[in-house]
Amino acid sequence: MAVETPLLDTVKFPADLRKLDKSELRQLADELRAEMIDAVSVTGGHLGSGLGVVELTTAIHYVFNTPDDRLVWDVGHQCYPHKILTGRRDRIRTLRQAGGLSGFTKRAESEYDPFGAAHAATSISAATGFAEASRHLKKNTTSIAVIGDGSMSGGMAYEGLNNAGHLGSKLVVILNDNDMSIAPPVGAMSAYLARASSSGVYQGFRTFGKQLAKRLPKAIYKQLAKAEEYGRGMVSGGTLFEELGFYYVGPIDGHNLDQLVPVLENVRDMKEGPVLVHVVTRKGAGYPPAEESADKYHGVAKFDVVSGKQQKGTPNAPAYQKVFGKTLIKEAEKDERIIGITAAMPSGTSLDMFAEAFPDRCYDVGIAEQHAVTFAAGLAGDGLRPFCAIYSTFLQRAYDSVVHDVAIQNLPVRFPMDRAGLVGADGATHAGSFDLAYLGCLPNMVIMAAGDEAELVHMTATAAAFDEGPIAFRYPRGEGVGVDLPEQGKILEIGKGRIMREGTKVALLALGGRLQEALKAADTLEAQGISTTVADARFAKPLDHDLIMRLVREHEVLITIEEGSRGGFGAFVLHFLSDSGLLDTGVKIRTMHLPDVFQDQDSPAKMYDHARLNAVHIVERAREALGMESNVVNLRG
């Protein structure tokens, strides 16, 4: 049953919103919240973060002249209300689906999304760029960055603050504090002070005072400026931001439009910048099931609006991340040197389980991947065995630390990389496409990839025992394939793969999550009279040279298969074959990898189908290499 939204129905774009009377904004926000809840119940997605910024989104678009004023959301998972108000309401029930709206901000989607995001702590830097571009282009516009208190744990946010403060950019940073990790209590007095200190009267008095004080000796002027700054800091907080060159306003109640709108209007009209507005919100606000949930319904499946019950399927096999978490606990029970490190993703990496078992041996460093890696390097440098568990896509953010602080020094940091390969609804920003390429080019690095959940148990144990240098192992998102799990992991021989099935004509050399598709392809090829070997490489680096040489010498065709970008495992195999002269033997080599594009969201199965990495495509490639017709129609029929 569709929700009734008579006022929201009159608003297609922010220009329509600005025609409303301020007294109507409360009703509009309530209708916007109801529409968002109803939409996400159909699509699934990020719910709690969007619910927390309904009033803030309404106020920003009411006060500022978007899209000319540039509004940059940090991460972007809170942008569903923003999308509804910016001409995309008619598509809001296509969120995170094939051909539908992105779950994050995306430049190609709307002029109201000036900057795409899905990783944290980028908004202030981007908004500073927009502010300076406006100055260079002589445009009278304002840049607004909305950043959560969680994202403020990322070092890049402070780099942006420092630069913007130094430049004096015409920039408004709205700190959306939804965890009370920064804010003092919010009440009528702080709201009054925020409104007063942002008002034109106060600003005019402040400017007059500055001009008067400048006529005084320099030392006295500096002391008066400090006195004014710390005077406001004493009653409202924000001294840190003042030190970085920002004028601090707040904290204010982010759900009270009577407070939000006038303060944002005052800030909009300020002649000097930059300004930081501290807004306190509640994640999941306005929807009881979300407010009462431990994670405030951060990410949800489809759900029933009335009960809040999510429609989650029954798993057929344990999730890879759970297998890793349980295995690491077993290893840590035997070895007190094992330490767990996560960058604000304890549940996503299953290190929350490890933290419960070993609270003194687990660290959540916040959204600070670069720090996490160098912190792990310091632990490893003194003989501990750190597991720095970071999603493949987020480890990209720490690449310099991986190179400079770990690989060059050959320190034994362990890198469990969850979400390897394609990840479905989160799309290109979260795909683990590049780690094989960006880690494989580094000297001293060992890289493993789990073909099933039992292999992940063995690789976790292997990493725990490996002290010769850095070692990484990747595994997919979601359920395993249903194989039996060993009680204890065995230590694998470094750089050695395994033969899964013997054949004579075609050799399929798979790395990681496409192993099961290679086995399915082999079944089809065998049924067509094409004798097929399937090998699990296990290691992308070092390669199993003996295995590769055997496959080349004993087969007409060798096909490498990986769920990574160009420049990864297949490239490593080709380098070896070229260097050893084995490309001169006449064997036909084919590499199968992700396409050289950023793939939009869809179900993982359909994304791999688009990438041509499913069993049917492996069969097609083998037949093509043998000079046979593809027979694809029969295979798919």
Q: Are 281 and 176 in contact (CB under 8 A)?
A: yes
Report the candidate in 539, 535, 594, 546 with the shortest Cα–Cα distance to residue 572.
539
> What is the spatial distance between Cα 130 and Cα 605, in angstroms, rounded to a whole number?
38
Q: Is 283 a catalytic residue?
A: yes
| Residue 184 CB partners (closer than 8 Å, separation 6+) | 190, 237, 251
Reply yes or no on whether 292 is catalytic: no
Residues with Cβ within 8 Å of 250's Cβ and at least 6 positions away in sequence, in order, are 175, 183, 190, 194, 236, 237, 238, 263, 276, 277, 278, 279, 280
Sign of CA dihedral 351, 357, 362, 364: positive
99 is annotated as contributing to ligand binding: no
Q: Which amino acid is at 524?
A: T
Chain centre to alpha carbon of residue 385? 26
Residue entry with tokens 């009377």: 21
Catalytic residue check, 414:
no
Confirm or deny that 369 is annotated as ligand binding. Answer: yes
CA distances to 65, 450, 537 from 460, rounded to whole Å, are 53, 10, 17
Q: Which of 283, 385, 541, 621 is catalytic?
A: 283
Q: Which of 70, 326, 397, 623 is catalytic?
A: 397
149 in a labelled binding site: yes
Please tell me whether 287 is known to bind a ligand. Answer: yes
Any known ligand binding at 545?
no
Please tell me whether 77 is known to bind a ligand.
yes
150 marked as part of a ligand binding site: yes
120 is in an annotated binding site: yes
Q: What whole-number distance in Å separates Cα of residue 88 and Cα of residue 81?
A: 10
Catalytic one of 35, 242, 331, 369: 369
Distance CA 175, CA 472 (A): 36
| Residue 274 preceded by cis peptide, ω within 30 | yes
Place of tokens 């680096």: 541
Q: Tell me the β-bridge partners of 472.
A: 415, 447
Question: Annotated binding residues for Mg(2+), as ranges?
Answer: 149, 178
Binding-site residues for thiamine diphosphate: 77, 118-120, 150-151, 178, 287, 369
Q: Could you give the residue numbers annotated as active site? A: 283, 369, 397
Q: Which residues are annotated as a binding site?
A: 77, 118-120, 149-151, 178, 287, 369
